[in-house]
Structure 1
């Protein structure tokens, strides 16, 4: 399976022209293609989410799912009040999620503001296996010039971020200016260099499932390595029906192109029970190939605590108190 990156914005535009079968990439061409995608059956999507949400797994399979979910977390702090000490504490938690059981998997990454990347890198080192994701492009609003957005991205990558979580211009998208959104994603992808790009669509502001599907395809066409639901600053954030729409998009993109694209629901997923519902959806909708932290992530902070507590219960046969795990500041994450 390929995850061939798009190296430059020029390559993204050329590929998009080939994909759409046009000689010139225009708003009209993108609009015609995006609005030609099959509509989402809203009632059917909600019903499928409800059905998948009732599935249960037990015993060894549940412990496997808990460990997998832990390994998929982007452990997150994105507050204006973040300090170097708070980020170091987050990194310490990522390195040792459960001091009483060192077999507990580590999360995939910590997710911080760009100016905190050097602090996180110093705390994590270079061989811990825990990556650093930096939010960029004037997160969470996305209201800034492209010069600022690109500088934001390059600075985070230069500071050793492995991944960049960018926000799309929702105003441009909702106004039908798909070409602007396309070029912004492609340009940020180019600025990422070796770092992987997660494209935050802020699905709570996109309103309809059809818009979520269109934004997903536009993000992939422009070169996103991941499509991500939310900043965690807008409600609703990650919901199971929206994630199903996104999982269908990456599945269908792979069928057409042979390229795998990841999915990251972020915001509001706090319990093991909720996380397992999402993993069931990944398996049933996209396929087991996506049951890997290279292709699926949870943007979360408090979720790790509940997963650790559930893991302890399954190992020890009883629940530990909440004071056996570190606390997190209140957040949509």
Structure 2
């Protein structure tokens, strides 16, 4: 596997790539999309054993994973203090002595993701860091509030300083194959985001089949999504390798047909450093080096960072420390 040099500065996707302005809904294209579930599952099952990186190479990949994390807190008991502590961790994700030993001073996460009510708190806490704030929106996690309220929520979050908006789609449109309704709603949400970068959450665990996942991916990209994201983290099943393979191949096809690069964000259930390495290697294999950068790839995670920090400490010192020494705040 090719060595990847971790980046020390992060840029918003819209600053380094042309925005996905979308296109007219092509129902023939959507109808022609299929997903060979058994083949996808066989390919996904081989992934954890197909790539192995060790020593300095593994440390470099783990630092890259940190730069691609949307450090997240989406709990009903979130407080300003918790968000401020999370933002401090985003600024300094790994102990300074470990980063100095690795030559990675200045490493930060990709973004901080919070509910709308905590956007202003996070923006203040991250002032001057260059780390953007992402807000989950549109009636997260179910996406069942009236459309005008979902659009208004996007506008409020953008006004509060969110530079990335994670919207949730209406799953019922996918389950009933109402692609026009899904396209129209997503298109309006994209317009409401304005200059903010939009990630469309498909809630793949509730879509029934991989074919539905693939078709929903295409429709959201046609509607102008800058990223497509697996899950809210609140579903019974969140990010999986078969779903990831399905979505990133849709991204590849969309790039090949339109020339536009759309990002990918797996979220929910990714908590181990070894899992992050599998996802990064899959992105590298299927889409190439541009998609292992934070402008086109993000992990939606919180506990993942703690495990990566433990692995980096082991790399530097030769000893593992307790997980509670690497808390999020």
Tell me what 2:298 maps to: 297
Query: Residues 20 and 261 of structure 2 are in contact (CA less than 8 Å); yes or no, is this contact kept in structure 1?
Result: no
Query: Residues 202 and 230 of structure 1 are in contact (CA less than 8 Å); yes or no, is this contact kept in structure 2?
Result: yes
Query: Residues 70 and 301 of structure 2 are in contact (CA less than 8 Å); yes or no, is this contact kept in structure 1?
Result: yes
Give the gaps of 5 or more residues in structure 1. Answer: 7-11, 21-29, 329-333
SS in 2 for 1:318: coil
Q: Which of 37, 43, 62 pairs up with 1:42?
A: 37
SS in 2 for 1:98: coil
Displacement of 1:59 in angstroms is 1.8
Compared CA separation, residues 61 and 104, structure 1 to 2 (3 A): farther
Give the 5 Å matches for 1:46-61: 46-54=41-49, 55-61=51-57
Tell me what 1:141 maps to: 142
Give the 5 Å matches for 1:5-84: 5-6=20-21, 12=22, 15-16=23-24, 20=26, 30=27, 32-37=28-33, 39-54=34-49, 55-84=51-80
Tell me what 1:86 maps to: 82
Tell me what 1:105 maps to: 107
TM-score between both structures, scaled by the size of structure 1: 0.89
Query: Residues 265 and 298 of structure 1 are in contact (CA less than 8 Å); yes or no, is this contact kept in structure 2?
Result: yes
SS in 2 for 1:210: helix
Tell me what 2:228 maps to: 227
The range that moved more, 174-183 or 300-309, is 174-183
TM-score between both structures, scaled by the size of structure 2: 0.90
TM superposition outliers: structure 1 runs of 4+ over 6 Å: none
SS in 2 for 1:231: coil
Give the 5 Å matches for 1:186-225: 186-225=187-226
Displacement of 1:171 in angstroms is 1.0
Displacement of 1:323 in angstroms is 2.6
Query: Residues 3 and 261 of structure 1 are in contact (CA less than 8 Å); yes or no, is this contact kept in structure 2?
Result: no
SS in 1 for 2:233: coil
RMSD: 1.5
Tell me what 1:156 maps to: 157
Residue 3 (str. 1) matches residue 18 (str. 2): yes
What number of residue pairs does the alignment pair up?
307
Query: Residues 73 and 299 of structure 1 are in contact (CA less than 8 Å); yes or no, is this contact kept in structure 2?
Result: yes
SS in 1 for 2:24: helix
Give the 5 Å matches for 1:158-307: 158-307=159-308
SS in 1 for 2:228: strand
Q: Distance in 1 between the 2:242 and 2:204 partners?
A: 11
